[in-house]
């Protein structure tokens, strides 16, 4: 078989696997934790190279987000999932935080239209996680809603960067979202509850909520109660 006869989709898949393997072995330099506000800025997704965004997002959530590292997801499946997820994310609301001097990525917020989640590439455990969050989000949908958005994952080097990204998506949502839209995000209530309430977010469910309507308890996905009890879903 000549090279020209190889289906383009197959070739693209092979290239993606090779790229994932190379990037998985590439050490990402640790960004400083205490970045002052003047040292970073929030930019749109197209403001950074796509491959660097996928690499940063995959590696940092695997290392630091319990919704990922506690679930023992295959790296290659997860990398491919994130690659496709960023292709379909809401570019208008998603954002990236970068250092002003080097343009190094120090945070990223992926925002998705809720009803688009059912179209995601989600093999094996990732599919089980998707079933869980979709069931959770259905219980949080207002009766007269129009568009639902969710900030799915948000790796960051510091709380200040995290807050800046949340402030950014909140401002965009308040200014441009259609009437009766809603925005969901996951956060640690121990450190972020007051900040989110000041932005008018309402805490809906946490892992320690025992009422039957709570479909958002990450303990059911295998996360330890010490983590899931403070992992809460908020709605604006």
What CATH number has the domain spanning 40-235?
Answer: 3.40.630.30
* All residues at 6 or more sequence positions from 110 whose CB lies less than 8 Å from its CB, including other chains: 57, 85, 86, 89, 94, 151, 152, 153, 154
Sequence ranges of the domains in the chain? 40-235
Is 30 or 222 the better-scoring residue by pLDDT?
222
Mind listing the pLDDT tens digit for each residue in 107-159?
A: 999 999 999 999 999 999 999 999 999 999 999 999 888 899 999 899 999 99
Q: Is the pLDDT of residue 31 over 60?
A: no
- Going through 79-195 in order, the beta strands assigned E by DSSP cover 95-99, 105-109, 111-113, 148-151, 182-188
Mind listing the pLDDT tens digit for each residue in 209-223?
A: 778 789 999 999 999
Taking CB atoms within 8 Å and a gap of at least 24, the contacts of 87-94 are 88/112, 88/116, 88/119, 88/120, 89/45, 90/149, 91/44, 91/45, 91/46, 92/172, 92/176, 93/149, 93/169, 93/172, 93/173, 94/44, 94/45, 94/169
pLDDT band at 19; cut points 50, 70, 90: very low
């Amino acid at each position: 078989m000549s090279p020209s006869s190889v289906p383009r989709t197959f070739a693209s898949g092979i290239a993606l696997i090779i790229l994932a393997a190379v990037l998985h072995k590439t050490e990402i330099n640790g960004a400083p934790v205490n970045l002052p506000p003047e040292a970073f800025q929030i930019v749109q997704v197209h403001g950074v190279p796509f491959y660097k965004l996928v690499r940063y997002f995959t590696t940092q959530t695997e290392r630091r987000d319990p919704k990922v590292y506690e679930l023992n997801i295959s790296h290659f499946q997860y990398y491919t999932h994130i690659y496709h997820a960023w292709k379909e994310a809401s570019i208008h609301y998603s954002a990236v935080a970068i250092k002003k001097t080097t343009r190094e990525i120090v945070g990223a917020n992926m925002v998705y239209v809720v009803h688009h989640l059912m179209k995601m590439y989600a093999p094996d455990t990732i599919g089980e996680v998707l079933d869980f969050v979709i069931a959770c989000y259905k219980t949080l949908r207002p009766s007269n809603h129009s568009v639902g958005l969710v900030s799915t994952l948000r790796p960051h080097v510091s709380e200040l960067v995290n807050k800046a990204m949340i402030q950014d998506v909140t401002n965009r949502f308040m200014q441009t979202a259609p009437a009766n839209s809603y925005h969901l995000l996951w956060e640690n209530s121990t450190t972020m509850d007051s900040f989110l309430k000041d932005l008018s977010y309402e805490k809906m469910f946490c892992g320690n909520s025992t009422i039957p309507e709570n479909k958002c308890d990450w303990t059911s996905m295998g996360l330890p109660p010490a983590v899931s009890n403070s992992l809460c879903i908020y709605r604006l």
